[in-house]
Amino acid sequence: MALTSRELNDKAKNFAKAILNDWPRDGDAPPVVTGDAVSAVKDASDDASLATALRAFVDTASPSLEPERIWADTPLGALLRALFSIAKQYLRSPDAQEALNLCDDIRAAVDDPARLAGHLNELLAALMVVEDGIGAIEGYADAAPYNFVDEAYLAKYGLLQALQVAFDGAESAAKILGVRLRADRKGGKAAIVARNIVAGHPIGGNMDGESWHHFHDRATAHDKAIIRVMSFSRSDPDHWTGQTLRTDELIEDGLHAIKQILRDALNYFATTRET
C-alpha cells in the first residue's frame, strides 16, 4: 500500500540520517553536493523545507546512483537509492498519488480471482502499465527546460503517448474487473485527440466532416508549457487554423480520467460482490 505523507516524511529523514552515518570519512565518497542535499533532508523542519531538500537531492543525486560507483553495492549505495525512491514518491502530484493509491486499492480488493473477467496476472499487468504511465507523465512535469528541439519533441510525444498508454491500462483493468469504461468519456478526450493529431496520426485526420493535415509548430516546440498545432484543410489550402494546448491541462485532465476509470471500476467490483 502507498505510504502517507507523514510516513514518507519520517522515512526520508531516517534514510538521510543513515546515509550520513555511513558516509565515508576518507577515500571515495559521493559528491559533496549530494552530501549537502542529504544533510538538508535530515535537518528539514517542516513539509515545505523537506520538499525543497528532497527536490535538491533528486536534482543532484543521479551521479551518485550510477551502478559503476564504488559504493553502488554497499549499504551506502542502497540507502541512497532508497532515499531517491522516497523523494520521488514524496514529490508526486496529489492527482498522481491518488491514482496510484487506487491501483493499490484494486489489488487489495481482489480477494477472489475467480470473480475476474480475465486472469489475475492480466489485471496486475494492466495496473503496472497505469503506474508506469503515471510515472512518465510525472517525469514530464519534472523535466528541466529544453535546450534542443529534439529533446522537446521527444518529451512532448512521450507525454502524449504516456497518457494514451495509461488510459489503455486503466480501461483494461476495468474490463477485467467486469465493466467497460472509456477514457474519452471520463475527461480524457482532449488528451486522446491531442495524441492522435500530434504524435499518433499527425498528417491526416477528420474534424467536423472535413479532412485536415495537422502539424506540430516547431516555433513553440521549446516551450514546455504548450503544444501548438497547425491544421490545414485538404479541400481548401487557404483555410487553416491553429490551436494551443496547455500541457498542464492535458496532464490534469488525463490524471482525472485515469482516477475516474479506476475508481468506477473498483466501485463496480465491490458492488457486484455485495449483490
Cell 546515509 belongs to which residue?
Answer: 19
Q: How does the average pLDDT of the chain come out, rounded? A: 89
What is the DSSP track for 7-60?
Answer: HHHHHHHHHHHHHHHT--SSSS---HHHHHHHHHHHH--SHHHHHHHHHHHHHH
* CA angle (204 as vertex; 241, 132 as ends), nearest 5: 100
Task: Give the Cα separation of 270 and 275 in Å (integer).
Answer: 9
pTM (predicted TM-score): 0.78
**CA neighbor of 38 nearest in space, from 69, 98, 84, 75:** 84
pLDDT tens for residues 86-142? 998 888 888 998 999 999 999 999 988 999 999 999 999 999 999 999 999 998 887
What pLDDT sits at residue 148? Answer: 81
Q: How far apart are the first and last CA of the chain?
A: 27
Cell numbers representing residue 179 in the block: 465493466
Cell numbers representing residue 67 in the block: 551502478
Secondary structure, 3-state, 145-214: CCCCHHHHHHHHHHHHHHHHHHHHHHHHHHHHCCCCCCHHHCCCHHHHHHHHHHHHCCCCCEECCEEEEE
**CA neighbor of 16 nearest in space, from 54, 47, 51:** 54
Task: Give the Cα separation of 83 and 74 in Å (integer).
Answer: 15
pLDDT category of residue 219 using cuts at 50, 70 and 90: confident
What pLDDT sits at residue 232? Answer: 85
pLDDT tens for residues 53-79? 999 999 888 888 888 899 889 999 999
pLDDT category of residue 26 using cuts at 50, 70 and 90: confident
CA dihedral 25, 30, 34, 39 (to 10 degrees): -20
pLDDT tens for residues 224-250? 899 988 888 888 878 888 889 999 999
